[in-house]
Amino acid sequence: MKYLPLLWSGIWRKPARTTLIMLQVAVAFALFGVLQGMKSGVDHVVANARADLLVVHSRVSFADSLPLADLQRIKSVPGVKMVGIVDGLRATYQKPNQPVGVVAADLSQAWVTANVLAVSPQALRAFEQTQTGALITSGLARQYGWKAGDRIPLLSATRQADGSGSWVFDVVGTFVDKLDVQGNDFVLIHYSYLDAARQANKSTVARYIVVLSDPKQALTVADDIDRQFANSSNETQTDSFRELAQSQMQAIGNLNFLIRSVIAAVLFASLFSTATMMMQSIRERSPELAVLKTLGFKARDIFVLILAEAMAICFAAAALGLCLAEVAFPFAARTVPGIAMPAAVVEVGLAASLLVALLSVAAAAVRAAKLEVVAALAIR
Amino acid sequence: MSSSKQFSALVRMNIAGIGQQIGPAVTIVIGIASAVGVLSAMLAMSFGAHREAMADVRADRVVLTSVGSQSVNDSSIPREAASAIGDLPGIRRSAKGQPIAVLEAEVIIEARRREGGARIQFPLYGVSSGLTDLRPELHVSSGRMFRPGLHELIASDLCAREYSGFDIGDRRTLRGGDWTVVGHFDEGPTIVCTLYTDAGSVLAAFGRDSYNDATVMLQSPSGFGAFEAVLKANPGLRVRAEREREVVEQNMKGFDRILQFAAYFVGAIMAIGATLGAMNSLYALVDIRRRDIATLRAIGFGSGPILTAVLAESILLAVLGALVGAGLAWIFFNGLSASPFGVSFQLAVTPLVVAVGAGWALLMGLMGGLLPALRTARVPVTAAFRAS
């Protein structure tokens, strides 16, 4: 405890220098936090994606469709607990630059039970009773002020039977999509309504969502489903959500080398900077340190004192930088929707700051500890 | 002694003195080298991708999409419009006298990367006849051209290299039919995998009765305005024209935004750090030289030259750092293949990238040196005679 005032006065001996070095280290760790946060955030999304849900889509691509007739055959595959239908249309609301995604599904209590989405029992009941009913995400409710009871007119390239591209839905409530980590906003409508009303592509779906009885069987069941449709005119491709998340996130995985280089460069620069500054500081303080030694401070005390000083500066700076990273992260992560900065990044960052402090100050601290009292006092 | 002589003498003295206080100087160089290095590497991605995407663009090629469509994907040109488009005035004719107008039906398909197995989506274009007239840069590098109606396709060299399932003779099942890869083609630098087959097969297999878009070659690049006027005079066609360059740039927009944001976001943060580091080091240098500065003042050096000499030193070190940084970026990243977000290209550390880095370094040197330089002006002459 008695060292604390000494430590404090050592840190603030040259306020401008300490402030600058702290800012520099803070900036370095802000960047570390954002970049490492994005990398870990991506890993986190993949690890959290559900392995017990499969997506069946056309082997051609996600943009292609499958016949509705496949539903029964998929249901009959052993290990399949439930199959949901997903289709949709792209629409705009009022202006061409206000796109609204519309997802059509055969929503029922089973979806809620399977934890695919969350919706209140009242809203679900209202949805089931309204043919043109629509559930909306809370984001849409906020953005356009939509609420239950509203009729929302949308414009789409998907035509109705009469050739018109305008679609009107009745908002019956809100829902939360439990699968979509990206937080996309969309309108959920009845598949049966969409299919009856549209002009083309009747009795087709964009994809099926399969809930498994046993997540461990994901691979076998996926293969069984694809085998059902092999060599048909609509071959399927079945993947688990986790697999999809993985391939989606792999798109930025190629940048890992670059991210690592940036982190290395920024940490190296701040390490070197801290090291020179501490060395310079020790040189200037030789007489003061010599006085401490004369007063009875042991070499080890001085060593620990200098070490503690650097660690305090780096730790505080890193904490500041990581706070900045938390603030800047959502801004930077816009390019990769749906990822959050894991807490572990902060822990690793703080630990790394202590390591930077140790490495950068070791030489200076040894020099300070070995100081010859007479020689040091003799320096002018 | 004139100010300029004083200045040059001081700069020489400072440079000669760097050897004695190597720490702060090296700190400045390293800090700025890492900032410029990172900025260069990030910009090299954006520049590299752009260079390859734009390499094949021709000023006389024009893309026609339907009025009201956002992109090629939701554009739709009915089959019946095909001959009307070919008959439009201003379109160049091939050696056989046919108008060079190719209608394209686009289908998105997916394949796995050879490395890592990631699934990537890319377009299969069903094209009407005349592909090689429209794209003279395209030539078959192995195998042969597809024959219409036989469910044959050709894949770009990039596809064959980066994705599995595109070797010659490989079959792909699309909509019930087996489609055979019969050839590979080289179309110059590209960033996305491309497949071609005949339009008739695609329309039949996918049950469609409209193309997505048409690409035509004009008689001359300057004919674009007249061609647009012709389209305006034919509202029944419901198509609009865009230069190929505009379409490619439009497609690159999202990708560019991500890369440039990354480059300037990360670069700016590192530049702030490097500037702070430079400032700190220069303060230290000025402190070390306190007595020297006071002595110089005492023998008649003006504060102006002393101040600018510090600034010059800071900028010199910054530019040195920029060169080191850009050099490292060139060694480690130039020509490196990257394939983020489903596109493939090589990073290019071009002179322009280096120039941008050097420009940033100048700014960092100037900003970092300003306050320490001003401090020299405040060193009292008496400091020369005071002990420490």
Q: Residue B333's pLDDT band (boundaries 50, 70, 90)?
A: confident
Q: Which two tokens stand for residue B79?
A: 């089959």
> A251 vs chain B: nearest CA distance in angstroms?
4
Among chain B residues, CA nearest to A272: B27
A 10 A CB-CB count for A82 gives 17
**Separation CA B62–CA B218 (nearest Å):** 7
**Separation CA B147–CA A366 (nearest Å):** 78
Which residues in chain A are closer than 8 Å to B41, comparing Cβ atoms?
258, 261-262
> B274 vs chain A: nearest CA distance in angstroms?
7
Q: Which two tokens stand for residue A347?
A: 């822990």
**Separation CA B322–CA A102 (nearest Å):** 51
Which residues in chain B are closer than 8 Å to A17, comparing Cβ atoms?
280, 283-284
Helix (H) and strand (E) counts for chain B?
A: 11, 14
**Separation CA B197–CA B76 (nearest Å):** 19
CB-hemisphere CA count at 13 Å for A343?
0
Q: Which helix (H) or strand (E) holds A79?
A: none
A24–B273 CB contact, under 8 Å: yes
- Tens of pLDDT along chain A (380 residues)? 577 888 888 888 888 889 999 999 999 999 999 888 888 888 888 888 888 899 999 888 777 889 999 999 999 999 999 999 999 888 889 987 888 989 999 988 888 888 888 999 999 999 999 999 999 999 999 999 999 999 999 988 888 988 888 999 999 999 998 887 667 889 999 999 999 999 888 999 999 999 999 888 888 899 899 999 887 888 888 988 888 887 777 666 566 777 888 888 888 888 888 888 888 888 888 888 888 888 888 888 888 889 999 999 999 999 999 999 999 888 877 766 667 788 888 999 999 999 999 998 888 888 888 888 877 777 55
Q: Which of A17, A35, A233 sits opposite B280 (nearest CB)?
A: A17
ipTM topping 0.90: no
Q: Which residue is it, tokens 């070995």?
A: A370
B262–A31 CB contact, under 8 Å: no
Which residues in chain A are closer than 8 Å to B119, comparing Cβ atoms?
247
Q: Which residues 249-268 of A are in CB contact (within 8 Å) with B?
A: 250-255, 258, 261-262, 265-266, 268
A375 touching B, CB under 8 A? no
A252–B341 CB contact, under 8 Å: yes
List of E strands, B187-267:
195-198, 210-211, 213-217, 239-243
Q: Which residues 2-41 of A are in CB contact (within 8 Å) with B?
A: 16-17, 20-21, 23-24, 27-28, 30-31, 35
Q: Which of A61, A233, A262 sits opposite B108 (nearest CB)?
A: A61
B270–A265 CB contact, under 8 Å: yes
Q: Which of A28, A61, A335 sits opposite B261 (nearest CB)?
A: A335
Which residues in chain A are closer than 8 Å to B283, comparing Cβ atoms?
16-17, 20
A254–B277 CB contact, under 8 Å: no
Which residues in chain B are closer than 8 Å to A335, comparing Cβ atoms?
258, 261-262
Which residues in chain B are closer than 8 Å to A251, comparing Cβ atoms?
118, 120, 340-342
DSSP 8-state symbol, A159: P
pLDDT value, residue B107: 87
